[in-house]
């Protein structure tokens, strides 16, 4: 029987492969560069899963920062790759826990009048927790107010899940919730 780690690796490789194929298929023209965006998220939250809160004593705050490189396939839809670094503050002997997630996903971001973009996204990939690796995914929703032509800034909420495989955390999922600020920087179009 294959473990969650093997499944996570295969899914992450398939998603990253699809994104690479998509980027290779993009026509080489001057209009391509403005389709790229850099997204940053900074947030805090808490763990929700029993194993993380009780067994591992990560019952304090969860702090996270994420960087995403996105390509708008359509004005309202983008493919993205991301790096997420999370820190879990624990009590007692548990100390501090960390995660590093390498993920790929999709983001829908339709315009809401001229005010900004309402967005929802989902990402999946490999999550490193110390010496262990696991499959993980997250989903977020937010609103970015448009500041000029190239900057979007606003609040977000995100749920993260690191899938347990029976060897770490007793098989319990590491589930955590975060909220904070998201920032998108777009490359301006050349007139």
pLDDT in tens, 54-70: 555 566 778 899 999 99
- Please calculate the CA angle 168-164-16 and round it to the nearest 5 degrees: 115
N-term to C-term CA, the chain: 56
Residue 164: half-sphere exposure toward Cβ, Cα within 13 Å: 14
Give domain limits for the chain: 4-24+35-186
pLDDT at residue number 114: 86
* CATH class of the region 4-24+35-186: mainly beta
Q: How far apart are CA 135 and CA 168, in angstroms?
A: 12
pLDDT at 76 over 90: yes
pLDDT at 134 over 60: yes
């Amino acid at each position: 029987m294959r473990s969650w780690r093997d499944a996570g690796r295969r899914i992450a490789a398939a998603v990253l492969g699809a994104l690479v194929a998509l980027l290779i298929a993009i026509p080489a023209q001057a209009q391509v560069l403005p389709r790229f965006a850099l997204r940053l998220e900074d947030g805090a939250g808490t763990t929700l899963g029993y194993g993380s809160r009780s067994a591992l004593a990560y019952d304090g705050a969860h702090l996270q920062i994420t960087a995403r490189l996105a390509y708008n396939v359509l004005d309202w839809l983008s493919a993205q790759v991301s790096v997420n670094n999370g820190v879990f503050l624990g009590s007692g002997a548990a100390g501090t826990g960390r995660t590093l997630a390498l993920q790929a996903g999709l983001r829908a971001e339709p315009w809401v009048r001229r005010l900004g973009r309402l967005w929802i996204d989902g990402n999946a990939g490999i999550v490193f927790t110390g010496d262990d690796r696991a499959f993980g995914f997250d989903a977020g929703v937010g609103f970015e107010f448009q500041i000029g032509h190239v900057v979007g800034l606003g609040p977000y909420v995100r749920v993260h899940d690191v899938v347990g495989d029976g060897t770490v955390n007793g098989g319990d999922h590491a589930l955590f919730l975060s909220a904070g600020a998201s920032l998108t920087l777009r490359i301006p179009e050349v007139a």
